[in-house]
Amino acid sequence: MIAVLIAGAVSMVLSLFGTRALISFFDSIGKGQPILGSDDHGPVHHMKKQGTATMGGIAIMLSAFIGWAVAHLRGGIALSDQAMIMWAICGVLSVIGFLDDFLKVRNAHNRGIFWKKKGYITFGLVVVMMTWLLLGTGVSETLSFTRFDFPGWNLSPILWVVWTSLMVWATTNAVNVTDGLDGLAAGSALFGFLAFTVIAYWAFRNPDIYNLVNPLDLAVFSAAMAGACGGFLWWNAAPARIFMGDVGALGIGAALGLLAVTTNTHMLLPLICALNVMEAGSVALQMGVFKASGRKKRLFRMSPIHHHFELLGWPETTVIIRFWILSGICVAIAVGMFIADFTNIADSFAGR
């Protein structure tokens, strides 16, 4: 437990000061996040935020990695291949996000060259990396809800790679879509990482039930990400001094998806990331209705759905806090279901 606390605390402190340093850097060069205008059907009401420092995800990902590494200096916790592969996957996707962010800032336009190709590029990379995770670790190859044997449907290696790649890729995109209001994505991600910290540590304390590959290291990984998101949120809360950018959204999304894969909670992920599912789903519904109507009708005033509520007259902070509440409730339900399943299994083990 001490290693988990160390990872969270170190990551939070580093993220707090690292994010402040990024704000100073962008202020010094006089550049920042471009905002889509009316010509691109963007949120014109956010144009006042143009020029805000961005790429705060750099501080999040670096702080989390350092916090995770520092926690291992104490001893008593194995440096697992699984966690290192997970960091490699998060790192690769963060680099893709960084390149896109860099081009946006340099060109002063909120569409990088990866705008239409980024989805294909990231999915291809995720497939390669998930294959590495399967071949390089003893990760379970079953479809799972709260543990590897529930429902415990065995997947062929190819099907497992496709399924988990879709999970991770979809989560990265969902977090990216959610990152449209000050603190919305970072706050909801913080809830998610805290949930996975509990799940992984619980599995560590009950290895006979969950049969995970080094669950303590997974708990440290998740705590490090939670701490880094917390430190960043200090500066990203409304009114934001900095945005996380794609470098943060893709890295955070990958980490959440990977934790669901490695803790055998595949089917619990949509509930833990319910806010991200709602945000991404609103975009899909908007596009579906728009195309089905011959490009004449829209379901929402603007998507993602947080912009819809803004255009209804809700202040930005009201949208953020209410969405955080919804996210917290869904995360609490997910953790409750995980513990309820444990209680049922524990009773069975005890012969009750």
Q: Which helix (H) or strand (E) holds 66?
A: helix 57-71
Cβ(34)–Cβ(250) below 8 Å = no
Q: What is the reported pLDDT for 7? A: 96
What is the pLDDT confidence band of residue 93, given thresholds at 50, 70 and 90?
very high
Preceding peptide of 270 cis, ω within 30°: no
Mean predicted confidence (pLDDT) in 103-121: 72
Higher pLDDT, 293 or 8: 8
Cβ(248)–Cβ(233) below 8 Å = no
Q: What is the reported pLDDT for 211? A: 85
Decide if pLDDT at 113 tops 70.
no
Mean predicted confidence (pLDDT) in 123-151: 91
Cβ(316)–Cβ(182) below 8 Å = yes
Q: What is the reported pLDDT for 116? A: 65
d(CA 97, CA 253): 11
- Reduce the DSSP state of residue 140 to 3 states and report it: coil
| Domain segments of the chain as ranges | 2-270
Question: Residue 185 has which token pair?
Answer: 């994505």
Mean predicted confidence (pLDDT) in 234-251: 93
Q: What is the reported pLDDT for 45? A: 62
What is the pLDDT confidence band of residue 351, given thresholds at 50, 70 and 90?
low
Decide if pLDDT at 136 tops 70.
yes
Q: Any idea which residue has 């409750």 for tokens?
A: 336
Q: Any idea which residue has 């803790």 for tokens?
A: 263
Mean predicted confidence (pLDDT) in 2-17: 96
Beta bridge partners of 142: 154
CA-based max dimension of the chain = 67
Q: At what angle do helices 57-71 and 245-262 cross, to 10 degrees?
A: 40
What is the pLDDT confidence band of residue 241, given thresholds at 50, 70 and 90?
very high
Mean of the per-residue pLDDT values of the chain: 89
Decide if pLDDT at 324 tops 70.
yes
Cβ(251)–Cβ(61) below 8 Å = yes
Taking alpha carbons only, the member of 310, 250, 256, 313 closest to residue 282 is 310
d(CA 256, CA 85): 14
Taking alpha carbons only, the member of 288, 246, 303 closest to residue 111 is 246
What is the pLDDT confidence band of residue 115, given thresholds at 50, 70 and 90?
low
Question: Residue 147 has which token pair?
Answer: 């543990």
Strand duo 142-147 + 150-154: pairing: antiparallel
Beta bridge partners of 147: 150
d(CA 240, CA 49): 9
Cβ(88)–Cβ(129) below 8 Å = yes
What is the pLDDT confidence band of residue 49, given thresholds at 50, 70 and 90?
confident
Mean predicted confidence (pLDDT) in 133-161: 90
Q: What is the reported pLDDT for 57? A: 93
Q: What is the reported pLDDT for 46? A: 64
Question: Residue 201 has which token pair?
Answer: 């540590």
- Residue type at position 62: L
Q: What is the reported pLDDT for 17? A: 96
